[in-house]
């Protein structure tokens, strides 16, 4: 369900995912949870997405749509690493000239290169200009420095990444807790989540609810 205003969609992009250019499957809310609205630096919005881009990133608590888009592209890169390596290891010409012949390999070459170009195009895709009700959406990615524990991070997202690695946090749990208690209580979110380093999808929701309840929220 759309919680926020939908971005304007140019006629030529009407069937496209804003993140990767593939056919759109749905419209998604950004941020995903209403509790994250206080973390972002611009108005919340809805935009078109394919199913893969809508679900590939598990964590939340992003500081802007651009930070989320970076995470989507990163996740696509990791997931499709094998396919992408075809383009890194071979050029189109090398693939065409390769001495390995035979019809099965011919088919492989054609489809492998096709898949490589498809994934590469999705990762490079830039979306279209964000406008809501005729107004250009300004997303300030410059002045987002986030201070925590004596260190200045370029933004909240890199502080989150750092904390998850350093304290062995469950990324999904931490980002959800953070979005509910707010970035001012970053250290408290770490303390709470350190107790639960490894969670199954099934346990995570219960632990999250337990933490929230414990805080009286």
Where does this chain bind Zn ion (CB under 5 A)? 17, 19-20, 22, 50, 53
Strands 131-132 and 45-49: unpaired
Please state, in angstroms and as integers, the Cα–Cα distance from residue 104 to each residue in 44, 96, 157, following that order.
Answer: 49, 14, 45
Q: Which two tokens stand for residue 153?
A: 């991070």
The span from the CA of 217 to the CA of 212, in Å, is 6
Please provide residue 210's backbone torsions phi and psi, each rounded to the nearest 5 degrees. Answer: -65, -45
Q: Minimum distance between the CB of residue 39 and Zn ion, rounded to whole angstroms?
A: 23
Name which of 19 and 153 has its Cβ closer to Zn ion.
Answer: 19
Q: Minimum distance between the CB of residue 190 and Zn ion, rounded to whole angstroms?
A: 32
Name which of 47 and 159 has its Cβ closer to Zn ion.
Answer: 47
Q: Minimum distance between the CB of residue 129 and Zn ion, rounded to whole angstroms?
A: 18
Q: Which two tokens stand for residue 141?
A: 């990615």
Q: Minimum distance between the CB of residue 49 and Zn ion, rounded to whole angstroms?
A: 6
199: nearest Cα among 166, 160, 170, 178:
170
Q: Tell me: cis bond preceding 31? Omega within 30 of 0 counts.
A: yes
Name which of 19 and 208 has its Cβ closer to Zn ion.
Answer: 19
Name which of 53 and 84 has its Cβ closer to Zn ion.
Answer: 53
Q: Longest C-alpha distance within the chain, in Å? A: 68
Q: Minimum distance between the CB of residue 213 and Zn ion, rounded to whole angstroms?
A: 36
CB 77 within 8 A of CB 123: yes
Name which of 59 and 122 has its Cβ closer to Zn ion.
Answer: 122
Name which of 75 and 212 has its Cβ closer to Zn ion.
Answer: 75
């Amino acid at each position: 369900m759309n919680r926020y205003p939908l971005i304007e969609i140019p006629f030529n992009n009407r069937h496209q995912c804003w993140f990767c250019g593939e056919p759109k499957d749905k419209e998604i809310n950004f941020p995903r949870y209403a509790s994250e609205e206080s973390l972002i630096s611009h108005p919340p919005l809805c935009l078109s997405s394919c199913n893969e881009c809508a679900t590939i990133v598990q964590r939340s608590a992003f500081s802007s749509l651009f930070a989320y888009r970076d995470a989507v592209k990163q996740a696509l890169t990791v997931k499709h690493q094998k396919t992408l390596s075809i383009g890194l290891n071979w050029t189109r010409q090398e693939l065409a000239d390769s001495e390995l012949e035979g019809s099965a390999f011919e088919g492989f070459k054609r489809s492998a290169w096709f898949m490589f170009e498809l994934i590469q195009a999705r990762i490079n895709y830039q979306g279209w200009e964000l406008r809501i009700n005729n107004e250009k959406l300004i997303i300030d990615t410059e002045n987002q420095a986030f201070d925590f524990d004596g260190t200045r991070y370029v933004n909240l997202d890199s502080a989150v990444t750092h904390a998850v690695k350093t304290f062995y946090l469950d990324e999904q749990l931490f980002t959800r807790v953070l979005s509910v208690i707010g970035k001012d209580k970053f250290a408290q979110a770490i303390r709470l989540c350190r107790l639960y380093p490894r969670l199954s999808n099934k346990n995570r929701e219960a632990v999250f609810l337990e933490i929230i309840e414990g805080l009286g929220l």
